[in-house]
């Protein structure tokens, strides 16, 4: 099949290129754009209390009960207490804000209750609607906060008062700016690394630019196709994960390009003309790339099993991107190289020369002649790191990981000095009764809640249209997104709320902290389901590829070992040595996406070459040596580019990105330089021909031709 595909592309390269350009233009013109949200409540199943609260606030109450306040924190520039005149100026500020009729602002208020007891600060509360997963509302809220900051600055100019706008939306606006800087750093690092490393490897500017052009086309096409699938199946995409999709495409796209061009150069060195070389390349590498892409797609689609819908939507998003990248690698990329021919390597002529034996030749001899030593040494390193993964603890405090010198962070610190920490993000309790709830009953229930663990205050704030549901806002004494608050709401406080409900009534808990508490439960369940299922499916795909029942077992085990070792290395660096209380809760899933899936990519490339060498007549140990020597450069180069891209994130001031950067970078390095090129071939050499049981029959070796004799002479001299 791949030989026929190669012939079609090589014979009609311009048609192939033209069809891709037409498809890209058509999809850009007619397909919808991909939209995402950052509202975590939109990703939780309806069985969880926080999701039920979110739904009831939108449907059972009149007006918009799903609100998130933005707070304007005002203080004197000389840090003295606010005078009566200053407080009057703050009151006038609130009226001026209300008079501006900003979009989405539902209420503006201030007063003595929003002033610190020592009059050091006074707050103006500006109520904004929660997004409910709707990107339009999020965008309007962010625009409103930006306009609010400008308006407040104009009102207080020359008054001697300073201010800061904080709250969920304001924090999101400030954090987005930090995120943009981090992603710009990653984008620049990605482009530079691809250009520099491909230039170093092939010494060709054309080949260095080619993956950037091809991947750029795939980014457009896959994003629009994902939007179509999302609309059809009503998927909610997390906007914060779109940069991960982009980096996946750059990493995998460059991997496939390197796998293809390395084999193409090898065939040219063996004496093939440019057409035959590309047809043979597509035939030989096509099956390996198809299997690798298939494994990655399956691994990503396993995320559909996640109950946390952000991960569930991310799976199809990544799967579509990788599938598009595979098709491009088998069609557009060969067509471009076919048009250029040997000119693709211009101006270098080094492609004509057989390389001198180097690192990969020595690695090949190691896994062949000292297989047991190589397997034990690499296995011990991985197992030692994997054991550390049992110390993993999840951290859900996003804001603590962002820079603390922003306007919203500074204003929040001022608020937390004098108000309960949960004042701006209350934990919401809905009391549902079969009969209308009176004000007296609501007040008595709120009084009970005030004595609950970790509660700084509680008061009724609204009734449903039928008066049978009352909303109680509780402010916690801990920061709403802190691990302490999440553990509190997840256990003791939620239990207390349930028990405090009057006979015949039901009380459920929602709000930001409750959402994180429910995500905690969902995330634990998803990890226990997704990783084992993915490993089993990867093993089945490897069995079909290798026609073997033995090799897939130890290949799947090595990939899982690489994943747990990577998580263990992250625990060691950030928790044990860095003193952090935990890693961000989504780190295991992100590591799963890259290390488990892309690590299998490298395994397949090496093992497919190893099987090819074995079937052509080499003994298993020699096949392991040859596979490591020939596939190692492609795997190593691909690993360096992808690991280097993520390593740039370590410099990010955002803790989550630094953790992702380190984790993925070390995971790719372990996969490329330990698992795929040392552990896997050495284990195969030790197991011998039994690794291919029950298949693995060898082809009848033909009489050696000039090309084969030349290759054998080079290999012998290299040895």
> CA-based Rg of the chain, rounded to a whole angstrom?
30
pLDDT in tens, 672-715: 999 999 999 999 999 988 888 887 555 444 444 434 433 333 33
Find the range with the poorest average confidence among 180-189, 564-573, 641-650: 180-189
Topology agreement, domain 1-30+203-351 and domain 359-398+520-719: yes
Token digits of residue 462:
């609204």
Backbone angles phi, psi at 122, to 5 degrees: -140, 145
What is the SS3 assignment for 102? coil
Q: What stretches of 270-369 show up as alpha helix (H) in DSSP?
A: 274-301, 309-330, 332-340, 359-369
Domain ranges of the chain: 1-30+203-351, 63-174, 359-398+520-719, 426-510
What region does 247 belong to: left with phi over 0, alpha with psi -120 to 50, or beta? alpha
Burial class (CB in 10 A: 0-12, 13-18, 19+), 187: middle
**Model confidence at 374: pLDDT above 90:** yes
**Percent of the chain residues past pLDDT 90, beyond the cut:** 28
Helix and strand totals (H; E) in the chain = 25, 10
**Model confidence at 241: pLDDT above 80:** no
Nearest to 19, CA basis, from 331, 341, 344: 331
Other CB atoms within 10 Å distance of the CB of residue 180: 11
| CB within 8 Å of 699: residues ≥ 6 apart | 615, 616, 617
**Model confidence at 591: pLDDT above 90:** no
| Nearest-angstrom CA–CA distance, 74 and 71 | 9
Burial 682-693 (b: 16+ CB within 10 A, else e): bbbbbbeeebbe
pLDDT in tens, 37-91: 666 667 788 889 998 998 888 888 866 555 677 889 999 999 899 999 999 999 9
- DSSP secondary structure code for residue 441 in this structure: H
Nearest to 43, CA basis, from 419, 321, 407, 303: 303
pLDDT in tens, 466-506: 999 999 999 898 878 778 888 899 889 999 999 999 999 99
Q: What is the per-residue pLDDT for 618?
A: 87
CATH topology of domain 63-174: Alpha-Beta Plaits (3.30.70)
pLDDT in tens, 94-124: 999 999 988 888 889 898 888 988 999 999 9
Token digits of residue 677:
């090129």
Bridge partners for 463 per DSSP: 470
What average pLDDT is seen over the chain? 84
Backbone angles phi, psi at 74, to 5 degrees: -115, 140
| CB within 8 Å of 4: residues ≥ 6 apart | none
**Model confidence at 716: pLDDT above 60:** no
Name the superfamily (CATH) of residues 359-398+520-719.
Multidrug efflux transporter AcrB transmembrane domain (1.20.1640.10)
Q: What is the per-residue pLDDT for 63?
A: 60
| Nearest-angstrom CA–CA distance, 375 and 701 | 31
Helix, strand and coil percent figures for the chain, each rounded to 5 = 70, 10, 20
Name the superfamily (CATH) of residues 1-30+203-351.
Multidrug efflux transporter AcrB transmembrane domain (1.20.1640.10)
Give the pLDDT mean for 542-554.
85
| Nearest-angstrom CA–CA distance, 538 and 602 | 13
| CB within 8 Å of 451: residues ≥ 6 apart | none
CATH topology of domain 426-510: Alpha-Beta Plaits (3.30.70)
């Amino acid at each position: 099949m791949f030989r026929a595909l190669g012939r079609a592309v090589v014979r009609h390269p311009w048609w192939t290129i033209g069809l891709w350009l037409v498809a890209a233009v058509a999809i850009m013109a007619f397909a919808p754009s991909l939209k995402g949200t950052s509202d975590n409540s939109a990703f939780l199943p309806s069985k969880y209390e926080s999701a039920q609260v979110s739904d009831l606030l939108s449907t059972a109450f009149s007006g918009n009960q799903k609100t998130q306040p933005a707070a304007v924190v005002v203080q004197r520039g000389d840090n003295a207490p606010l005078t009566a005149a200053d407080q009057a100026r703050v009151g006038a500020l609130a009226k001026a804000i209300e008079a501006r009729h900003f979009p989405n602002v539902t209420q503006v208020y201030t007063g003595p209750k929003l002033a610190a007891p020592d009059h050091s600060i006074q707050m103006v509360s500006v109520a904004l609607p929660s997004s409910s997963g709707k990107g339009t509302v999020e965008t309007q809220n962010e625009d409103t906060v930006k306009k609010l900051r400008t308006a407040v600055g104009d009102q207080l100019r020359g008054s001697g008062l300073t201010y800061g706008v904080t709250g969920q939306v304001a924090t999101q606006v400030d954090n987005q700016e930090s995120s943009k800087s981090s992603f710009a750093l990653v984008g620049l690092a990605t482009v530079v690394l691809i250009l520099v490393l491909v230039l170093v490897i092939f010494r060709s500017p054309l080949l260095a630019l080619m993956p950037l052009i091809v991947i750029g086309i795939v980014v457009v096409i896959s994003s629009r196709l994902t939007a179509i699938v999302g609309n059809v199946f009503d998927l909610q995409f997390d906007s914060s994960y779109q940069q991960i999709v982009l980096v996946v495409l750059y990493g995998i796209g460059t991997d496939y390009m390197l796998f293809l061009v390395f084999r193409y150069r090898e065939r040219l060195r063996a004496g093939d003309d440019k057409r035959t070389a590309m047809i043979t390349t597509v035939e030989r590498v096509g099956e390996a790339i198809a299997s690798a892409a298939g494994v990655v797609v399956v691994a990503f689609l396993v995320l559909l099993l996640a109950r946390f819908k952000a991960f569930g939507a991310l799976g199809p998003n990544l799967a579509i991107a990788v599938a598009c990248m595979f098709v491009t690698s088998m069609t557009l990329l060969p067509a471009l190289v076919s048009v250029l021919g040997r000119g693709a390597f211009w101006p270098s002529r080094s492609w004509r020369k057989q390389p001198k034996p180097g690192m990969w030749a020595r690695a090949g001899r190691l896994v062949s002649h000292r297989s047991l030593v190589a397997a034990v040494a690499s296995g011990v390193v991985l197992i030692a790191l994997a054991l550390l993964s049992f110390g993993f603890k999840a951290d859900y405090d996003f804001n603590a990981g962002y820079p603390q010198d922003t306007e919203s962070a500074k204003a929040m610190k001022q608020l937390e000095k004098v108000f309960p920490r949960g004042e701006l993000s209350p934990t919401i309790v809905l009391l549902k009764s079969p009969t209308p709830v009176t004000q007296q009953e609501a007040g008595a229930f709120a009084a009970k809640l005030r004595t609950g663990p970790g509660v700084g205050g509680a008061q009724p704030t609204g009734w449903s249209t039928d008066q049978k549901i009352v909303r109680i806002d509780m402010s916690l004494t801990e920061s709403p997104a802190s691990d302490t608050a999440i553990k509190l709401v997840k256990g003791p406080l939620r239990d207390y709320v349930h028990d405090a409900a009057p006979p015949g009534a039901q009380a459920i808990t929602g709000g930001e902290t409750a959402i994180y508490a429910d995500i905690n439960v969902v995330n634990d369940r998803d990890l226990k389901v997704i990783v084992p299922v993915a490993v089993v499916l990867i093993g089945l795909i490897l069995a079909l590829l290798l026609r073997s029942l033995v090799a897939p077992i130890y290949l799947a085990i090595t990939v899982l070992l690489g994943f747990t070792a990577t998580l263990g290395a992250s625990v060691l660096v950030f928790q044990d040595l860095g003193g952090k209380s935990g890693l961000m809760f989504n780190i295991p899933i992100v590591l799963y996406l890259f290390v488990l899936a892309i690590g299998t990519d490298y395994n397949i490339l090496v093992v497919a070459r190893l099987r090819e060498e074995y079937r052509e007549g080499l003994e298993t140990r020699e096949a392991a040596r040859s596979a490591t020597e020939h596939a190692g450069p492609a795997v190593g180069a691909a690993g360096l580019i992808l690991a280097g891209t993520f390593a740039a994130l370590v410099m990010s001031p955002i803790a989550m990105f630094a953790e992702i950067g380190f984790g993925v970078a070390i995971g790719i390095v372990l996969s490329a330089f330990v698992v795929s090129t040392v552990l896997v071939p050495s284990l195969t050499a030790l197991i011998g021909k039994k690794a291919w049981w029950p298949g693995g029959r060898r082809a009848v070796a033909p009489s050696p031709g000039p090309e084969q004799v030349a290759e054998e002479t080079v290999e012998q001299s290299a040895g």
